[in-house]
Amino acid sequence: MGAAMAVSLCSVRPEAGSVESSSSSSSTASSRQARGRSAAGTWQWARTAETQRALLDAAREVFVEQGFSAASIAEVVERAGSSVGSLYHHFGGKSELYVALWQEYQQAQEEAAAGAVASAKRAGVTDPFELFTAGARAYLEGSWQHRDLTMLFLSGDTPPGFGVMARTRGHQWISQNDTLLGLSDTSFDRLYATILTQLIGEGAREVAVAKNRQQANRVADAVIEYVKRIMANGPWSPAVKPVRADRADRADRADRSDRPDRAVRGARRASARADSPSD
């Protein structure tokens, strides 16, 4: 019954000139206009994304070849096939282009590391060392794949204020590693996470300057070996002595330091008795 009703309803068509026909025509026209606006918006968005991509790719080439300070906006827009006005419209200037490249690089590195850790967890890995090294290897691999950008951002030739951004991002990496390793909020654990994070960062630099893939792999293996050695005993913490034992130790030291003085006083008293006249 339901199927028959559906067929019946679908079979009904409004007659020409009827209100239903006019309404349907109006609705169709509106739908076409909406689709037209949607298509135009999609085209405009695609063109905007294409322009931004062209400017970023050109900026990457120019910054890597010439350095940030020596790079010119004119060179960037010429290679991008764009205009100075378009560059300022999309990014605001040369510094913003540099930062946009850096943010893309950071996002790619984070996604690679997080993806490797997630994949290891899905495979049943729970050991903190194995999870950390999975993410570290992915990060080092990204440093090799994008070695031109790795060296660009580590060169020191950067826009004003970039150092603050980089340090802030570094602290975020440390915090993420702190969470991954399940560390507590103590100075010693924070130092531990900082050392491991800095090791990966310096390892990335060495991977990026490697002469070939084989050397890059050896450097990455060395970084992981150093990580293994550092993590062998976990974060360091000072030994805490029991209070009573500590007090006894201080009393014993005081007693030992007072012994020479007591001996001297005893000798003086013996000498005084020897010198005094006998009864």
Rounded CA gap, 99 and 125, in Å?
36
Confidence of residue 14 (pLDDT cuts 50, 70, 90): very low
Residue with tokens 């890995």, as numbered in its chain: 125
**For the segment 198-208, what is each residue's pLDDT rounded down to a tens digit?**
999 999 999 99
Superfamily per CATH, domain 46-92: Homeodomain-like (1.10.10.60)
Specify which of 15-29, 138-152, 160-174, 262-276 reaches the highest per-range mean pLDDT: 138-152
99-133 tens-digit pLDDT: 999 999 999 999 999 999 999 999 999 999 999 99
* Percentage of the chain exceeding pLDDT 90: 61
Q: How do the residues of the chain divide into helix, strand and coil, expressed in percent and rounded to 5?
A: 80, 0, 20
Residue 27 carries which DSSP code?
H
Q: Which tokens go with 156? A: 């020191």
**Distances 244 to 37, 113, 155, 252, 253 between C-alpha atoms, Å:** 82, 49, 55, 12, 14
Using a pLDDT cut of 70, give the percent of the chain over it.
Answer: 69
Question: What are the sequence ranges of the domains in the chain?
Answer: 46-92, 101-231
SS3 67: coil
Average of per-residue pLDDT values in the chain? 80
For residue 245, count other CB atoms closer than 10 A to its CB. Answer: 9
Would you say residue 211 has pLDDT above 90?
yes
For residue 195, give every residue at least 6 positions away whose Cβ sits within 8 Å of its Cβ, in sequence order, or none.
230
Distance between CA atoms of residues 109 and 166, nearest Å: 14
What average pLDDT does this structure show over 53-77?
96
Contact 112/86 with Cβ under 8 angstroms? no
Place of tokens 């490797």: 116
Tokens of 75: 């060179």
Pair of tokens at residue 22: 């006019």
Instruction: Report how far Cα 246 is from the mean position of its chain's Cα atoms.
Output: 44
> Could you tell me the fold of the domain covering 101-231?
Tetracycline Repressor; domain 2 (1.10.357)
Return the number of other C-beta atoms located less than 10 Å from residue 162's C-beta.
Answer: 17
The Cα–Cα gap between 254 and 80 comes to 80
Retrieve residue 5's tokens: 């009703």
